[in-house]
Amino acid sequence: MTDFALLKDLVVKNTTKIVLLVLDGIGGLPVMPGGPTALEAAHTSNMDRLAAEGICGLHEPIGPGITPGSGPSHLAVFGYDPIKYEIGRGVLEAVGIDFALTPQDLAARGNFCTVDAAGNITDRRAGRIATEISAKLAARLQAEVKLPGVQVFVSPVREHRFVLVLRGEGLVPALSETDPQVLGKPPLPVQPLAPKAAHTADLVNRFVDQARRILADAHPANMVLLRGFAKHPTLPQMADVYGLRAAAIAAYPMYRGLAKLVGMTALPTGMALDDEFAALEQGWADYDYFYLHVKKTDSSGEDGNYEAKVHVIEEVDRLVPRLMALKPDVVVITGDHSTPAALKGHSWHPVPTLLWAPTCRPDLTTSFGERACTQGSLGRFPAVDIMPLALAHALRLTKFGA
């Protein structure tokens, strides 16, 4: 585990620059018995050269056998213990739509749902109504719901999903969820899970009651379900614990949001890979640490599209020389987790990792791939080790003890 207290004592100033290139869901599985993974099948001469000069291994985002979501796996790669620093679902959803949460805010994931005349749920997702309809209903809720002493924000996400944010003093997220997770029953009232959450539970129940009335004519989206109540976590900030001016380059809002939670500045970027690398070049002078996020390795894995994943990896490899032309001092290429096309989803398989720096002691690895990484000197290691290793290779940590 990263010992922030220890690291803070050891951090020294330097002008070195670190790049963390995250190919989301990079790890994979063969699609034919004994065949290559997508990363192994891809032609990656640039990354292979870095692997030969640097050190390789496979990181465990959370622990052996644990399949991570994107929130905890990113936190781990940023050096934050993902079990200690849990980000609530409500916050993750808010962050995912670029909602600017404040420390006062209580966020929840919302669903529009359908209830019958007796108030029992008949569709937990309101027939997956179009986002445009959701947006109108959300606006109506935000305009019409009135709660004493708190501001109410209702923001659409996609289809039937929205984010509820209450802003006010003393909100406590220790609340039970309203979704009974079965059909034919009414939504559950929110219960406080701690005595001090009683007032917050009352406010949320009032929101639900008012929403029921306001949405009465909005069938199929005539009711709401709420879960994942959470407040903005107060995470140690990268400037404080690592002494780094950190920047995030991510086309998708959730990843920008995650990066902002740990104190990174999100740089403006377009959606394309080339745009992201251009943003890196533009921001180069002003930061010490750059997190660059590539989404499509993950989405092609989620789609079960092995060939697309191979293609994305090759596209990234083609851009690696642009990164190296900036003369970084440390480059880490890895993923936040594995997303094998064969499984069409995130998996627990450890994540190929390459750390390149002139201060590396080279190992025997000469290519970047899952099998090759098993022979690397980093071995199989916790993802939270990446950050202290990057700092060390960037000569940004002084000696511990005399």
Distance of alpha carbon 358 from alpha carbon 26, whole angstroms: 25
* Binding residues for its own copies restricted to 80-119, rule: CB under 8 A: 82-83, 86-87, 89, 92-93
Measured between alpha carbons, how far is 153 from 42 in angstroms, rounded to an integer? 45
| Ranges of H-type helices in 57-197 | 70-77, 89-96, 131-144
- Interaction with its own copies in 355-374: which residues (CB under 8 A)? 359, 361-364, 370-371, 374
Of these, 11, 66, 174, 198, which contacts its own copies (CB under 8 A)? Answer: 66
Q: Does 19 bind its own copies (CB under 8 A)?
A: no
Q: Which residues pair with 380 in a beta bridge?
A: 58
- Nearest alpha carbon to residue 212 among 231, 198, 226: 226
Q: Are strands 265-266 and 151-158 parallel, antiparallel or unpaired?
A: unpaired
The kind and range of the H/E element at 394 are none
Identified binder of its own copies from the candidate list 72, 187, 220, 243, rule CB under 8 A? 72
The one among 173, 220, 243, 350 contacting its own copies by CB under 8 A = 350
Q: How far is the CB of 70 from its own copies (least distance, A)?
A: 7
- Number of residues near its own copies (by CB under 8 A): 66
Least distance in Å: CB of 244 to its own copies? 14
Cα–Cα distance measured from residue 106 to residue 94, given in angstroms and rounded to the nearest whole number: 10
Mind giving me the DSSP string for 198-243?
HHHHHHHHHHHHHHHHHTTTSTTS-EEEEEEEEE---PPPHHHHH-
On whether the CB atoms of residues 78 and 238 are closer than 8 A, the answer is yes
Which of 67, 176, 299, 305 binds its own copies (CB under 8 A)? It is 67
Q: Is residue 54 a contact residue for its own copies (CB under 8 A)?
A: no
Q: Rule CB under 8 A: is residue 226 a binding residue for its own copies?
A: no
- In one-letter notation, the amino acid at residue 69 is G
To its own copies, the closest distance from the beta carbon of 238 in angstroms equals 16
- Closest to its own copies by CB, 299 vs 377, is 377
335 binds its own copies (CB under 8 A): no
For position 388 contacting its own copies by CB under 8 A, the verdict is yes
For residue 49, state whether it binds its own copies (rule: CB under 8 A). no
Whether the CB-CB separation of 355 and 332 falls below 8 Å is answered with yes
Q: What is the closest distance, in whole angstroms, from the C-beta atom of residue 38 to its own copies in the complex?
A: 12
Residue 141 near residue 157 (C-beta atoms within 8 A):
no
Q: Select from 53, 159, 302, 315 the one that contacts its own copies (CB under 8 A).
A: 53
Site string for its own copies, 21-40 (x = CB under 8 A): ------xxxx--xx--x---
Closest CA to 339 of 138, 51, 61: 61
Judged by CB under 8 A, does residue 299 bind its own copies? no
Contacts of 396 (CB under 8 A, 6+ apart): 11, 12, 13, 14, 16, 242, 243, 244
Minimum distance from residue 29 beta carbon to its own copies (Å) = 5
Task: Name residue, tokens 């789609």.
Answer: 303
Binding site for its own copies (CB under 8 A): 3, 6, 10, 27-30, 33-34, 37, 53, 58, 62-73, 82-83, 86-87, 89, 92-93, 340, 343, 346-350, 359, 361-364, 370-371, 374-381, 385, 388-393, 397-402
